[in-house]
Each structure stands twice: as structure tokens, then as C-alpha cells.
Amino acid sequence: MRILITGAAGFLGSHLCDRFLREGHEVIGMDNFITGNPQNLAHLAADQNFSFIRHDVSNFIFVPKKVDAVLHFASPASPNPLSPYGYTNLPIQTMKAGALGTLNALGVAKANNARFLLASTSEIYGMPLEHPQKESYFGNVDTIGIRSVYDEAKRFAESLTMAYYRFHGVDTRIVRIFNTYGPRMHLDDGRVVPNFIQQALRKEPLTVYGDGQQTRSFCYVDDLIEGIYRLFLSDEHYPVNIGNPVENTMVELAEEINRLTGNPAGLIYKPDLRVGDDPQRRQPDITRAREILHWEPKVSLEEGLMRTIPYFEQAMKHD
């Protein structure tokens, strides 16, 4: 297949490019580098089955020759306001990528009679009143809060994708991605795994906000990509959660990273700096992924961190 992947230079987009190329497909990567990193694609420069178009997806998308599939992954994704890549610092670009970008990407799929896969997010559940979150849960979202630029862009993108499926008959898929980590995350991404690993490698105490009992469910990137690939090959048109159902508190994560890096500095607690309606708990219900895709994560937190820490060691040397 000939496949267009938007957001190709991003953390997840670049891993998707690798996977589809490994499966024998031709891949066209698209990115404007607002948050994507050219280094994430540098290893593909000599691959004859890979080509790249530098483009902002919020503008009309033109791809020469027919494509068989479109995967729309272009969007800022970090919620951290201290990161230059955080969507609260790129609010208009984030909404354009989710709204206009999705419209344009769906247009390519429709024009080519191609399969379409939307990268959605657990953030569409907002501050959930249901735990764990099932795909049938409508969410509890603040439409004007600081995080709404991302949450509402993705909710709109899901609605638009379903409209193209129902009205135009586009062959669509929607993946709701939960917290994912691994190599190729930005050093200053601002999310907890990169922050903790870098503090630990510098032998600094790891900064925990609040009491550290807030939870996340961390999925290693290889597991996530496997789930997305299986969804792409499936016939499922309705949203599917892909993530790790094992919940960890921030304290548990910090202590594990300190243990794996041999960091003796411990933890330091600071006042809670959560932005807006940042949820206290996040955990996917992956029943549908297990039933439809026969998928569940295989990589433990310990193993995933052991694969991720060397990447940050190298990246910090070159920063």
C-alpha cells in the first residue's frame, strides 16, 4: 500500500513510519516541524520506499499519485505549559491541526477512496467520572478550559471522521491513545517520563507535584504501534482505546526510574501545578481492543523504561 502519515516526524508518527515500512508498504511522511523532530526521520533518508513532504496540514493537502491510506497524527500533544511543544502554548495551531487538518486529511482519503485512521486521545474523556474509561463513556469536558484546545479539537475530529464514514462512506478508523512513552520523545516534551528520566540521569531529586498519588497508565511505544497497526488492518469503524490498563502513581513511577538509573537523590515534593481539568486518574478499559484486535500490551513498565533510558542518555549528550 501507498500510505500518507501526517505528523510523521513526531514521536508516534516516526515509529508508525518505521512499522509500515517494515511491513513492506510505501510511506509518504508529512510534517511542518512545529513539534516534530527531523532527527526522528533521519534514519529513513536512504529508504527508497520513504518520501517526505514538508507541509502544514491545516492547509489544503496535495499528494501526487494515488494513496491507499491516510493516518492523521499531526498535532501538538503535550499538556505541559512549561514545554515549548505544549498545546497550551500552541493553542491555535492545535485546534487547526485537529479541525482543518482532519478535514484536509479526510479529503485526501475520500478523493483516493483510501482507508483513514485518526489519532484521537484519552483526553476526549476530560475529567472522567467513570473509571476506567470505556469507549462508550461520553466524557466530562470543559469546553472553554485551558486544555480544551486539544480536547475539543480531538472530539471534533472524531465527529468529523464519523460524518465522513456515515455520509461519504470513507473507510475510517479511530484510535484513542492513552499515555505512551519511549525513544524519540522530546527532551523538553514536559511530560512526566522525560522529566523524571532526565532528572534521574543528572542525579537530581525527582520533582513530584502534590502528594504524588495521581495516576497514569503508561504504555510503551512498541505496544501502542502494534495496537494501532492491528486496528488499521481491522474492519472496526468505531473508537478503540489503546493503552496500558496498569495504573501507576507518580511516586511509584519516580521510585522505579530512580532504581533503574541508580539515582540516590530521592524525591522532592512541590505544590500541585496541574493545569485546568488535568485528571487525577487515567486508565483505559481495553476490553474492545482485546476482543476486536486480540491486542494487549506486553512490555512491562520496568522493561519499557530500560529501553527508553538509553535514548535519553544519548540525547542529553547531544543537547
The residue with cell 465527529 is 159
Sign of CA dihedral 147, 149, 155, 161: negative
Active site residue 165: no
Could you write out the DSSP letters of every residue in the chain? -EEEEETTTSHHHHHHHHHHHHTT-EEEEEE--SS--GGGGGGGTT-TTEEEEE--TTSPP--SS--SEEEE--S--B--TTSTTBTTSSHHHHHHHHTHHHHHHHHHHHHHT-EEEEEEEGGGGBS-SSSSBPTT---B--TTSTTHHHHHHHHHHHHHHHHIIIII---EEEEEEPPEE-TT--TT--SHHHHHHHHHHTTPPEEEETTS--EE--EEHHHHHHHHHHHHHS---S-EEES----EEHHHHHHHHHHHHT-TT-EEEE-----TT--S---B--HHIIIII-------HHHHHHHHHHHHHHHHHH-
Q: Which of 150, 164, 181, 220 is catalytic?
A: 150
Active site residues: 150
